Amino acid sequence: MCEQRDPESSVTSVGQGKTLGLIVNPVAGMGGPVGLKGTDGPDVLLEARRRGARPVSSERAVLALKRLAASSMPFRLLTGSGALGEDVARAAGLDPIVVYRSISESSEADDTRSAAIVMAYANVDLLLFAGGDGTARDVLGMVSDRVPILGIPTGVKMYSAVFGTNPENAGSLAARFIAGEPSVRFREAEVMDIDEAATRNDQVSAQLYGYARSPYERHLVQNAKSGSVASDSLALDAACRQVVREMQPGCLYLLGPGTTTRRVMTELGLPSTLLGVDAVLNGALVGSDLNEHQLIRLMEGYEIRIIVGVLGGHGSLFGRGNQQISAEVIRRAGREHLIVIASMDKLLSLDAGCLRVDTGDAQVDAALSGHIRVHTGPDRSVFFRVRS
């Protein structure tokens, strides 16, 4: 439960229990389904809206807050006004204390930074934020290691290790923290981000921005993006050659982002979009850097195969950096038509021991759960567990 308090009262002198902060970036994640690589900056946000993007951050944040609302322990929730957190908290059945109000001419990033400073001065025990890697950077830049932070994944880029594996798990971890469960530990978690401008020019420019103090429970939070192992290159190349040999005429192949799927395109002798989704039919490129709506239109009348690699050290199949391959795209293609390629070393290095899906659609996530074949080399594959 959460106590209702007068917003003008001193937040340090009321009630008992822990104090949590909440910051929602209301535009986080809008660029994913429409084929953009994030929503950092006003021009990109404007383009996302022009392409028909809709807000997704708040509805995903509600999923986390509902888990938090089910806590039997008392706590106080400090947040920003309206879309910055208040609306989400009330939608989840909580009564937050509004400690920051947006200035109309400020940007979303300015609001995030300003609200984070207010939370830090209020001495919150844990700062929850809903967004992606850009939001994580903004929060870390303001609070450093002074305040523990935990991310509710609602963005496009989520390579940092401060995020829950999905919104519900972020809420569950926060609730366990409130309850003082001994299984919840703290770790120094990497905050990373990829340069969006570079990715739109098909270049990957990742940077480590620092380490945040963050709660950790193995199956509830993700690891940071892992590096590739040179010894895996030959096996991956051979696996991709085999996938190309087995491509069927008249079947439309959708290839997700990443260096693994780029190997497939290289074997086909085709250009690829490193961080976008491409389409291949009868060995020819029929679509490049496609968004969700373009994919759905292109799929009409064809049998579909979706080829993806394992994204990041957190083992994500869907929901991290490839939101163009939406729940609806996956539903239309069918689980049986997924082709997953990854190195054995990468699979074995996954801390959670499973692959993750977080499409935003509970039914699709449930359908994807279970064991799935992962191609690891020539005539070599393993069945690996998938969890939502």
pLDDT in tens, 300-354: 999 999 999 987 667 889 988 888 999 999 999 999 999 999 988 888 878 678 8
Give the three-state DSSP class for 194.
strand
Domains of the chain, first to last = 18-216 (3.40.50.10330), 230-387 (3.40.50)
Separation between Cα atoms, residue 231 and residue 343, nearest integer Å: 10
Torsion over CA: 235, 317, 166, 54 (sign): positive
Contact 48/352 with Cβ under 8 angstroms?
Answer: no
Which one has a higher pLDDT value, 194 or 17?
Answer: 17
* 1-10, 79-88, 268-277, range with the lowest pLDDT: 1-10
Q: Is the pLDDT of residue 34 over 50?
A: no
Contact 386/369 with Cβ under 8 angstroms?
Answer: yes
For 235, the enclosing helix (H) or strand (E) is helix 233-245
pTM: 0.69
pLDDT digits (tens, 9 = 90+) for 244-286: 999 999 999 999 988 899 999 999 999 998 878 999 999 999 9
Cβ-in-10-Å burial (0-12, 13-18, 19+) of 246 comes to exposed
Cβ-proximal residues to 326 (8 Å cutoff; 6+ apart), any chain? 33, 292, 295, 359
Contact 347/380 with Cβ under 8 angstroms?
Answer: no
Average pLDDT, the chain: 85
What was the pLDDT predicted at 248? 96
Closest C-alpha among 17, 51, 46 to residue 34: 51
pLDDT digits (tens, 9 = 90+) for 107-118: 678 899 999 999
Instruction: Quickly tell me which residue has 């909580």 as its tokens.
Output: 94
In Å, what is the CA distance from 239 to each residue of 205, 242, 254? 27, 5, 17
A 10 A CB-CB count for 233 gives 13
Give the three-state DSSP class for 50.
helix
What was the pLDDT predicted at 204? 54
